[in-house]
Amino acid sequence: MRHRIASLLFVVLVVLVLPHLSSAQTPVAESDAWRALAAALEPGAFISVRLTDGQRLTGTLVRATADGILLKPKTRLPVPARELSFADVESIERAKQGMKPGVKVLLGTGIGVGALMLVVGLLYAALGSS
């Protein structure tokens, strides 16, 4: 009998307390948080977006809508802008835009030619003075 009363009190306690615990901690929907962040970003911002399937996209934010964002990906070959739903977004963060590959090649070539000219000039000065 005592065991039955204790179990009945436990069930009543769980039924009365459990709904209050679950309503006290209502989780914020992540899509709402990403929507607020995207709304705060200005169009033209360079961002990096990680999707729930693990794919990472970097590009220019064209616009933020109520359902998602329109992103113009930065790729070697031009691709059309992509509409990304907030439900598919794992994270959004600002990204730094690096140098283009052509600029890197020209910079490396210029440094190489400059170093070669320096070595040739030093050799000419060393051999020409004797």
Structural domain count of the chain: 2
Instruction: List the domain range (segments joined by +) for residue 122.
Output: 99-130
Residue 12 placed within a domain: no
On whether both 58 and 103 belong to a single domain, the answer is no
Side-chain-side CA neighbours of residue 60 (13 Å): 10
Cβ-based neighbours of 97, under 8 Å, separated by 6 or more = 46, 74
pTM given for the model:
0.56
Give the C-alpha separation, 33 to 129, whole Å.
72
Residue 6 placed within a domain: no
On whether both 89 and 119 belong to a single domain, the answer is no
Instruction: Provide the percentage of residues in the chain whose pLDDT is more than 70.
Output: 77
Cβ 40 vs Cβ 59: under 8 Å: no
Cβ 97 vs Cβ 103: under 8 Å: no
Q: What is the pLDDT of residue 24?
A: 45
pLDDT tens-digit series, residues 54-89: 999 999 999 998 889 999 999 889 999 999 999 899
Q: What is the pLDDT of residue 129?
A: 66
Cβ 91 vs Cβ 49: under 8 Å: yes
Residue 36 placed within a domain: yes
Q: What is the mean pLDDT of residues 105-110?
A: 95
52 has pLDDT over 70: yes
On whether both 84 and 53 belong to a single domain, the answer is yes
pLDDT tens-digit series, residues 20-37: 555 444 445 777 888 888
Q: What is the mean pLDDT of residues 7-32?
A: 57
Q: What is the mean pLDDT of residues 104-115?
A: 95
Instruction: Provide the percentage of residues in the chain whose pLDDT is more than 90.
Output: 53
Q: What is the pLDDT of residue 45?
A: 93
Residue 16 placed within a domain: no
> How far are the Cα atoms of 3, 55, 88, 95, 111 from residue 72, in angstroms, in the given order?
66, 15, 17, 14, 33
Q: Give one word for 91, left, alpha or beta, with left for phi > 0 and alpha for psi -120 to 50.
A: beta
